[in-house]
Amino acid sequence: MDYRYLGNSGLKVTEITYGNWLTHGSSVENDVATACVRAALEAGITSFDTADAYANGKAEEVLGAALAGERRESLEVFTKVYWPVGPKGPNDTGLSRKHIMEGINGSLRRLNMDYVDLYQAHRFDYETPLEETITAFADVVRAGKALYIGVSEWTADQLRQGQALARAAGFSLVSNQPQYSALWRVIEAEVIPASVALGLSQVVWSPMAQGVLSGKYLPGKSAPAGSRATDEKGGKDAIGRFMDDDVLGKVQQLAPIADDLGLKMSQLAIAWVLANPNVATALVGASRPEQVAENVKASGVKLSADVLAQIDAVLGEVVERDPAKTVSPETRVV
């Protein structure tokens, strides 16, 4: 497992981060998640990402329990704040000072840890003055409850404004967590150039485009039973934008490229995002422990310029590139 620096910081993270994302928090889901965390550790992953809103705190509890007994200094643990948690009252959401302070304390309690390595603004909060948000994050860092601060799905202008305020407050933003894959490239035109200038890395989610780039969804065919595309509790909606026969047909044409490289299509998808030098790590989840062992093989894979050009030629116009697709809710969700 290779490591990369997170932004212009001295923190190294594994090229592949295990994303501990729970939806329902059922006992079966929790058991599988724990097994996947253990598989990630065995595969050499030391970076783990979660959020307080995942299954309303249950994901953090599961991750903390799964990592119990590990040497804390050898791990890089990320979590996030913004989306509604708890009873979801008017102050249980957003990036107000109140919610950030209560959020970090709740996350540390659920993780059973004294600090997190990276604390992230899960979206931009239009209802809170940015100065208030950044000042609260500065106080979280000074209290030793988070070592570094990042954001998620912020626009280039928001990154510039946030970094200016952060530096004035005595710290720096080190990362942005956007959706990014060979099919979803909306950060390339504006967010990545701004991030390079500001000293931020990308911690990318959905490098396999919700599993579409694994090649398991076929044009003109029903989605496999039990797959994300059949999950009526959120998965089906998330993957919907890619479930188009034209997109699925193009994805199938990537199979010969993967075969020539001795890779599975999922590994090719992860290696593709890691080919971008501004990407520090790719978030990869799993529904089975064996998937973790398979995905980590993408670490260290170097795709040539010719291969990247072949992928571009195959996908063509089905790639989404519109920078305006990087958005946060204009009002807080409750």
User: Is there a catalytic annotation at residue 115?
Assistant: no
Please pick, among 54, 148, 180, 217, the residue that the annotation labels catalytic.
54
Q: Phi and psi of 156, rounded to 5°?
A: -60, -45
Structure tokens at 205: 């989610």
C-alpha 92/C-alpha 333 separation (Å) is: 10
Residue 205 near residue 279 (C-beta atoms within 8 A)? no
Q: If you ran DSSP here, which 8-state letter would residue 300 be given?
A: T
Residue 115 near residue 108 (C-beta atoms within 8 A)? yes
Q: Which residue has the tokens 């598989």?
A: 39
Angle (CA) 167-188-79 rounded to 5° is 55
Structure tokens at 70: 């590990």
Reduced to 3 states, what is the DSSP secondary structure of residue 188?
Answer: coil
Query: Taking the CB of residue 4, how many other CB atoms lie within 10 A of it?
Result: 17
Residue 7 near residue 78 (C-beta atoms within 8 A)? no
Angle (CA) 89-142-46 rounded to 5° is 85
Structure tokens at 116: 């997190």
C-alpha 312/C-alpha 296 separation (Å) is: 24
Reduced to 3 states, what is the DSSP secondary structure of residue 261?
Answer: helix
HSE of 95, CA atoms in CB hemisphere, 13 A: 30
> Following CA atoms 68, 211, 295, 268 in sequence, which dihedral angle do they give, to the nearest 10 degrees?
-150
Amino acid code (one letter) for 329:
P
Active-site residues: which are they?
A: 54
